[in-house]
Copies of this chain bind each other. A is one copy, B any other.
Amino acid sequence: MPFSELMMTGIQLMLIGMGIVFTFLIILVVTMKGMSRLAISLEGELPAVDTAVKAPGRSDEVLVSVISAAIRRYRDTR
């Protein structure tokens, strides 16, 4: 392919590509909003146990704090 044609194809691809990316993600925004509404209506009202954005490794932290507390007590008793 001659250079000019290659560049034209590239520009075409850029336009189509960004178009599809934006279209896709905009439709996804709409879909996700609908999905959330559906989920909330299905669940009645949000149950209290719902987790918000959760920090991972919570249980590890508990474990670590428990163990470090236990170590401290253990050492104190010696």
Contacts and interface: CB of A to CB of B under 8 A. Distances in A.
Interface in A47-78: 62-63, 65-67, 69-71, 73-74, 77
A63 B59 CA distance: 14
Q: Tell me how many chains of this kind the complex includes.
A: 3
**Interface size band for A:** 10 to 19
Interface of chain A, main secondary structure: helix
A32 to B, nearest CB: 38
Nearest to A63: B67
15 contacts: A62-B71, A63-B67, A65-B74, A66-B67, A66-B70, A66-B71, A66-B74, A67-B70, A69-B70, A69-B74, A69-B77, A70-B70, A70-B74, A73-B73, A73-B77
